[in-house]
Amino acid sequence: MRQTQAWRVAEPYLNLIKQYPDAQTLAQADVVELRRWFKPLGLVKRADYLIQCSQILISDYAGKVPGDLKALESLPGLGRYSARAILCLGFKQPLPMIDEGGGRVLRRALGYKPRGPAFSDPALMHAAERILPHKSSRNFNLGLIDIADVYCHPTKPDCLGCPLFKDCGYVTD
The CATH number linked to 122 is 1.10.1670.10
Query: Do 84 and 10 sit in the same domain of this protein?
Result: yes
The CATH number covering residue 65 comes to 1.10.340.30
- Quote the number of domains for the chain: 2
The answer for residues whose C-beta is within 8 angstroms of residue 41's C-beta and 6 or more apart is 4, 8, 9, 12
Query: Do 86 and 154 sit in the same domain of this protein?
Result: no
Kindly state whether residue 69 falls inside one of the protein's structural domains: yes
- Amino acid found at 7: W
Query: Do 86 and 20 sit in the same domain of this protein?
Result: yes
Kindly state whether residue 173 falls inside one of the protein's structural domains: no
Confidence at residue 51, expressed as pLDDT on a 0 to 100 scale: 96
Query: Do 114 and 57 sit in the same domain of this protein?
Result: no
1-27 pLDDT per residue, tens: 455 566 677 888 888 899 999 999 999
Query: Do 83 and 130 sit in the same domain of this protein?
Result: no
* pLDDT over 70, % of the chain: 94
Kindly state whether residue 108 falls inside one of the protein's structural domains: yes
Kindly state whether residue 39 falls inside one of the protein's structural domains: yes
Query: Do 81 and 116 sit in the same domain of this protein?
Result: no
Residue 54's domain comprises 6-91
**Band of the pLDDT at 171, cuts 50, 70, 90?**
low
Task: Return d(Cα 95, Cα 123) in angstroms, integer.
Answer: 15
Q: Which of 152, 165, 56 is CA-nearest to residue 105? A: 152
Kindly state whether residue 21 falls inside one of the protein's structural domains: yes
Kindly state whether residue 145 falls inside one of the protein's structural domains: yes
Residue after which a domain boundary falls, among 62, 91, 120: 91
Query: Do 31 and 81 sit in the same domain of this protein?
Result: yes
Q: Which of 61, 104, 98 is CA-nearest to residue 83? A: 98
Kindly state whether residue 1 falls inside one of the protein's structural domains: no
Residue after which a domain boundary falls, among 58, 91, 124: 91
Residue after which a domain boundary falls, among 50, 71, 91: 91
pTM: 0.86
36-51: burial string, b at 16+ Cβ within 10 Å, e else: ebbeeeebeebbebbb
59-115 pLDDT per residue, tens: 999 999 999 999 999 999 999 999 999 999 999 999 999 999 999 999 999 999 888
